[in-house]
């Protein structure tokens, strides 16, 4: 019971941060919606932990609902890191391309002189 209350307080804290960021317009609408859905799902998972337990039992898993949520969270974290790496790589390449355009344009101008 206490664990659930602590988890909910943490979620409320993150939700408030999310709303503040949205008000400051530091994140766009898509990003806001994505995280809002994520935290709502997390809240539902915490509120219906017992139901998740029995659901997992029916599926034949021996672990409890909270363990399942932890595994899920770790998997999601890995996925986000993976996506971030790809995004970072793509930005890195764009930076290189921009760097190259500037260099070649400057060289072309010098050659014209």
Partner 1 sequence: MKKIICIIPAYNEGKNIYKTVQKVKLYLENVVVIDDGSSDETAYKAKKAGAKVLIHPINRGQGAALQTGNEYALLKQADLVVHFDGDGQFLASEINDLVKPIIENNYDIVFGSRFLEKKSAIPKFKTYIIYPLARIVNRIFLQVKTTDPQNGFRAMSKEAILKIKIENNGMAHCSEILYKTHLNKLRFKEVPITVIYHHFGQKFSSGLKILKDLFVNKLNQ
Which residue ranges make up the site for partner 1 (CB under 8 A)? 85-86, 89-90, 92-93, 95-96, 99-100, 102-104, 106-108
Residue number with CB closer to partner 1 (13 or 88): 88
DSSP string for residues in 85-112: HHHHHHHHHHHHHHHHHHHHHHHHHHHH
Shortest distance in whole angstroms from residue 91 CB to partner 1: 11
Pick the closer one to partner 1 by CB: 17 or 106: 106
Decide: 18 and 35 in contact? Cβ < 8 Å: yes
Min separation Cβ 87 and partner 1, Å: 9
- What is the rounded distance in angstroms from the CA atom of residue 3 to the CA atom of residue 46? 9
**CA terminus-to-terminus distance, the chain:** 78
- Nearer to partner 1 by C-beta: 28 or 89? 89
Shortest distance in whole angstroms from residue 103 CB to partner 1: 5
């Amino acid at each position: 019971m206490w664990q659930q209350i602590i988890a909910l307080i943490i979620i409320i804290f993150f939700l408030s941060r999310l709303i503040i960021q949205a008000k400051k317009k530091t994140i766009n609408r898509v990003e806001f919606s994505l995280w809002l859905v994520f935290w709502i799902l997390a809240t539902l998972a915490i509120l219906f932990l017992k139901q998740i337990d029995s659901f997992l039992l029916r599926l034949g898993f021996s672990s409890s609902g909270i363990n399942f949520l932890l595994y899920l969270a770790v998997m999601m974290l890995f996925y986000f890191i993976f996506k971030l790496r790809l995004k970072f790589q793509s930005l890195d390449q764009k930076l290189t391309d921009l760097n190259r355009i500037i260099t070649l344009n400057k060289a072309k101008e010098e050659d014209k002189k």
